[in-house]
Amino acid sequence: MAYGRLDVFFPDGNFRSFPLVNPTESVGRSPGNTIKLDAETISRYHFSVINHQDTVTLADLDSQNGTYV
């Protein structure tokens, strides 16, 4: 069961929603991520969403463009 969702809004007006189901979801351009985004402004390994004991945190993975909520 999902504990949340990640909504991604692209500059062209499109958006995608991703259910957050794993304790750690990694986001980036690389196929090694659980959520792969093909966008120039996303680093290969950009950020992680971590669910630990019902506390959800977001951690930037030293991405070049940073992570903003």
At a CB cut-off of 8 Å and minimum separation 6, what does 19 contact? 2, 4, 5
Alpha-carbon Rg for the chain, nearest whole angstrom, is 12
pLDDT at position 61: 96
Q: 40 versus 49: which is more confidently predicted?
A: 49
Does the structure show a pLDDT above 90 at 7? Answer: yes
**Residues 42, 13: contact at Cβ < 8 Å?**
no
Does the structure show a pLDDT above 90 at 53? Answer: yes
pLDDT, tens digit, for every residue of 14-43? Answer: 999 999 999 999 999 999 999 999 988 899
Does the structure show a pLDDT above 90 at 45? Answer: yes
Does the structure show a pLDDT above 90 at 57? Answer: yes
